[in-house]
């Protein structure tokens, strides 16, 4: 404050000598204006001192008690979320951000009274985090918080905090979120509740460069032992600098198969190709890894796949069908089994496709077997016989939500409409060849015109009559043809589209052989099973073993690993008392944390400037937990002091410009 006073005392006006013959009049004017000049100078000095004082107080961020004030003698309910995701492992002054968040949370809790109750919430969202703790329990729980692979967005966190605090019937609900506020965490926050006050406490440090494996996927829908397999690997550079010579290695069943180096431009992705030949029938474990420090959780991508010696196809007919045999019997990738309609096979899950051709009757036993196979995820293609029992066919079709046969037409027609968007033709033809000869049809079934939401057209005649369609039922597919699989009634079995069509039906049915799971998701995966006893699958590796949530549907079991699955790697899916794995699950960490972009305190204030119930605490507020508690239960005054400083500066300007005290100048 001394500086403006010293400056004020200096006179910087330049004087000019004026000669007078008589100075009596000058002395009178000077005496008259002395008091007015002194008053003006004092007022200007006061304005300057008040403006400087107000500015200093504004930067000190003063506050008054607000409407979140604690009620003395009664319980206050407070929810504290501590972000324990992998990005909180970054260092700031030799301490991880998680350690700093835990320290701040500890000081915050200590600033409240003994009768207050607290909720501790982390990314784990465990069941034990839905209850309220006393002060000592809360401090102990904070101390036990450890890193987790799980992630939650801000809206999900706020809703859970509000839900728990609402159970106590509190009119004013106070919640804290201590986090580094990764950009993906804060997106799309729309939650509104006037009684819920959310206080954001950001922890900032230097942003890290990161390179991670985004995903991996096969070029082929299935893998065959001894056949070349192509695996695509997508690696992403999340940083702002180009990355050169990043080591990438591929391990299959514990053996390194290939190593290479990749280059990735800043902020972009690179897709590389790994080509290998599976040597082991059954489940295989593939691990693709890169070398990148210090962020390592996304350096590995685990993938399991089931390599078949061959794809099994079952043909059910009253005699060998030469066209079906020509497609599958002479192809080394398939193992064709032929059976009569009196089928007695128990394990249907080993077949990729079941072909029903030219049967005169579909018995109730066969209908039940086929329907169960379809609903469990299998694929069936039906070629009807024209001297068949229409009622038996319609009962089977009706049980699988398919269109029924109204009758048969002997009017000659032609295939003219191929649905190239359908999966079985998607990689066969890019467009219909101009010189393609469409097969003639001499006799075909007429289907009912009822609407079916589960229907997808595959082939039609030039009159727009349906020749083949796909119907979904449960987890499987039923393909129904209007023509039989013989040359007498149509040219379809001998046409160029017949073999690739059946081939893709078998391949697509087996396209779920690769198994990859993202930790933290609520997704389910299915395993085929003939187990009907009340026993449960377990997920097991060398470090852990647990029983996940699961339910039986027909001949498959849907398994939901849920929050029990915490660590990336391979897990055997086994039944109790069995050492052999029914399947192998590959678990990977969520890649949402890979992008090292974070919101600063100023970014958060900008984003939530129109939300009166979201407050961002930063700067001097973070000096101690007590400061945070006081800030939450207060009204900031810095804006008012800043306005006062501007007002005093304006008043000073007006005084200097419009208060004329030089009476001599006026008289002159």
pLDDT at 67 over 50: no
**CA-only gyration radius of the chain, Å:** 39
Helix (H) or strand (E) holding 97: helix 97-110
Mean pLDDT of 410-427: 80
Mean pLDDT of 260-265: 94
pLDDT in tens, 474-499: 878 999 999 999 888 888 998 888 98
Quick one: which of 543, 548, 554, 551 has its CA closest to 574? 548
Mean pLDDT of 363-377: 89
pLDDT at 627 over 80: no
pLDDT in tens, 300-349: 999 999 888 888 999 999 878 889 999 898 888 889 998 888 776 667 77
- Give 519's DSSP letter: T
pLDDT at 81 over 60: yes
Q: Which residue would you say has higher pLDDT here, 30 or 262?
A: 262
Residue 533: count other Cβ atoms within 10 Å of its Cβ: 7
pLDDT at 434 over 80: no
Mean pLDDT is lowest, of 56-65, 117-126, 451-460, for: 56-65
pLDDT at 68 over 60: no
Q: How confident is the model at residue 9 (pLDDT cuts 50, 70, 90)?
A: low
Spatial separation of the C-alpha atoms in residues 4 and 1, rounded to whole Å? 6
pLDDT at residue 476, rounded to an integer:
86
pLDDT at residue 664, rounded to an integer:
44
Mean pLDDT of 359-378: 89
Mean pLDDT is lowest, of 382-386, 571-575, 623-627, for: 623-627
pLDDT at residue 665, rounded to an integer:
44
Q: How confident is the model at residue 294 (pLDDT cuts 50, 70, 90)?
A: confident
- The angle subtended at Cα 96 by Cα 93 and Cα 99, nearest 5°, is 110
First-to-final CA distance of the chain: 39
Q: Which residue would you say has higher pLDDT here, 13 or 557?
A: 557
Q: Which residue would you say has higher pLDDT here, 487 or 6?
A: 487
Spatial separation of the C-alpha atoms in residues 53 and 11, rounded to whole Å? 23
Average pLDDT of the chain is: 84
CATH class of 311-509: alpha beta
pLDDT at residue 663, rounded to an integer:
47
pLDDT at residue 629, rounded to an integer:
64
Q: What is the pTM of this model?
A: 0.70
At residue 194, φ and ψ (nearest 5 deg) are -65, -20
CA distances from 357 to 65, 217, 336, 384, 480 (A): 83, 35, 14, 6, 11
Strand 440-441 with 413-418, pairing: antiparallel
Spatial separation of the C-alpha atoms in residues 74 and 21, rounded to whole Å? 86
CATH architecture under which domain 211-308 falls = Sandwich (2.60)
pLDDT at residue 451, rounded to an integer:
72
pLDDT at 12 over 70: no
Q: What percent of the chain has pLDDT over 70?
A: 85
pLDDT at 24 over 50: yes
pLDDT in tens, 649-660: 888 888 888 776
Four-residue CA torsion sign, 339, 341, 346, 347 = positive
For domain 68-207+597-634, which CATH number applies: 2.30.30.100, 2.70.70.10, 3.90.800.10, 3.40.50.410?
3.40.50.410
pLDDT at residue 313, rounded to an integer:
93
Q: How confident is the model at residue 425 (pLDDT cuts 50, 70, 90)?
A: confident
pLDDT at residue 386, rounded to an integer:
85
Q: How confident is the model at residue 4 (pLDDT cuts 50, 70, 90)?
A: low
Residue 20: count other Cβ atoms within 10 Å of its Cβ: 8
Helix (H) or strand (E) holding 38: helix 24-59
pLDDT at residue 242, rounded to an integer:
93
Burial of residue 592 (number of CB atoms within 10 Å: 0-12, 13-18, 19+):
middle
Q: Which residue would you say has higher pLDDT here, 428 or 38?
A: 38
Q: How confident is the model at residue 668 (pLDDT cuts 50, 70, 90)?
A: very low
Q: How confident is the model at residue 666 (pLDDT cuts 50, 70, 90)?
A: very low
Mean pLDDT is lowest, of 223-232, 394-403, 427-436, 537-546, for: 427-436
Helix (H) or strand (E) holding 258: strand 255-264
pLDDT at residue 219, rounded to an integer:
85
pLDDT in tens, 563-595: 889 899 999 999 887 778 889 999 999 998 898
pLDDT at residue 463, rounded to an integer:
87
Q: How confident is the model at residue 111 (pLDDT cuts 50, 70, 90)?
A: confident
- 349's torsion region: left (phi>0), alpha (psi -120 to 50) or beta? alpha
Q: What percent of the chain has pLDDT over 90?
A: 39
Q: Which residue would you say has higher pLDDT here, 201 or 31?
A: 201
pLDDT at 170 over 90: no
């Amino acid at each position: 404050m001394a500086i403006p006073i010293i400056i004020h005392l200096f006179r910087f006006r330049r004087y000019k000598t004026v000669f007078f013959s008589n100075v009596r009049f000058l002395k009178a004017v000077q005496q008259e204006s002395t008091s007015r000049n002194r008053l003006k100078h004092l007022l200007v000095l006061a304005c300057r001192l008040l403006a400087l004082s107000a500015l200093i107080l504004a930067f000190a961020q003063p506050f008054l008690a607000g409407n979140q004030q604690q009620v003395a003698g009664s319980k206050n309910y407070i929810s504290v979320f501590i972000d324990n995701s992998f990005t909180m492992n970054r260092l700031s002054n030799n301490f991880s951000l998680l350690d700093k968040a835990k320290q701040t949370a500890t000081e915050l809790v200590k600033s409240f009274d003994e009768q207050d109750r607290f909720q501790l919430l982390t990314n784990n969202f465990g069941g034990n985090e839905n209850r309220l703790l006393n002060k000592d329990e809360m401090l102990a729980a904070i101390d036990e918080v450890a890193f987790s692979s799980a992630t939650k967005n801000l809206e999900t966190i706020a809703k859970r905090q509000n839900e728990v605090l609402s159970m106590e019937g509190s009119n004013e609900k106070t919640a804290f979120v201590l986090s580094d506020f990764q950009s993906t965490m804060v997106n799309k926050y729309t939650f509104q509740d006037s009684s819920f006050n959310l206080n954001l406490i950001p922890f900032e440090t230097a942003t890290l460069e990161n390179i991670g494996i985004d995903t991996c996927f096969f070029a082929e829908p299935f893998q065959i032992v001894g056949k070349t397999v192509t695996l695509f690997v997508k690696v992403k550079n999340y940083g702002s600098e180009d990355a050169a010579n990043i080591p990438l290695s591929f391990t299959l069943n514990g053996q390194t198969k290939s190593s290479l180096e990749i280059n990735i431009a800043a902020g972009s992705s690179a897709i590389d190709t790994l080509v290998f030949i599976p040597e082991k029938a059954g489940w295989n474990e593939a691990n693709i890894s890169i070398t990148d420090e210090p962020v390592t959780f996304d350096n590995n991508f685990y993938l399991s796949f089931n390599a078949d010696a061959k794809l099994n196809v079952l043909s059910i007919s009253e005699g060998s069908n030469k066209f079906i045999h020509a497609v599958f019997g002479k192809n080394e990738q398939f193992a064709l089994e032929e059976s009569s309609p009196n089928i007695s096979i128990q394990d249907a899950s080993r077949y990729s496709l079941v072909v029903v051709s030219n049967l005169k009757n579909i018995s109730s036993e066969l209908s039940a077997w086929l329907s169960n196979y379809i609903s469990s995820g299998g694929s069936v293609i039906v070629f009807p016989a024209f001297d068949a029992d229409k009622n038996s066919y319609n009962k089977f079709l009706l049980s699988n939500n398919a269109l029924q046969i109204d009758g048969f037409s002997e009017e000659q027609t032609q295939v003219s409409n191929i649905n190239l968007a359908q999966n079985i033709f998607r990689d066969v033809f890019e467009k219909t060849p101009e010189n393609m000869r469409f097969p003639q049809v001499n006799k075909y079934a007429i289907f009912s015109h009822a609407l079916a939401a589960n229907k997808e057209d595959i082939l039609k005649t030039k009159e727009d009559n349906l020749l083949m369609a796909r119907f979904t039922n449960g987890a499987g597919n039923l393909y129904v043809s209007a023509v039989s699989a013989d040359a007498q009634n149509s040219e379809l079995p001998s046409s160029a589209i017949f073999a690739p069509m059946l081939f893709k039906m078998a391949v697509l049915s087996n396209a779920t052989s690769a198994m990859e799971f993202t930790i933290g998701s609520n997704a389910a995966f299915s395993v085929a099973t003939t187990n009907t006893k009340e026993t449960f699958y377990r997920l097991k590796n060398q470090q852990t073993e647990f029983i996940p949530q699961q339910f039986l549907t027909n001949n498959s079991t849907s398994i939901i690993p849920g929050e029990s699955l915490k660590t990336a790697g391979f897990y055997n899916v086994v039944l109790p008392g069995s050492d052999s794995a029914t399947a192998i699950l590959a678990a990977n960490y969520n890649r949402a944390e890979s992008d090292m972009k974070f919101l600063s305190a100023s970014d958060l204030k900008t984003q939530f400037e129109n939300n009166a119930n979201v407050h961002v605490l930063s700067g001097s507020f973070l000096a101690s937990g007590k400061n945070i508690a006081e800030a939450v239960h207060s009204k900031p005054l810095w804006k008012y002091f800043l306005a006062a400083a501007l007002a005093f500066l304006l008043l000073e300007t007006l005084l200097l410009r419009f208060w004329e005290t030089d009476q001599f100048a006026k008289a002159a």
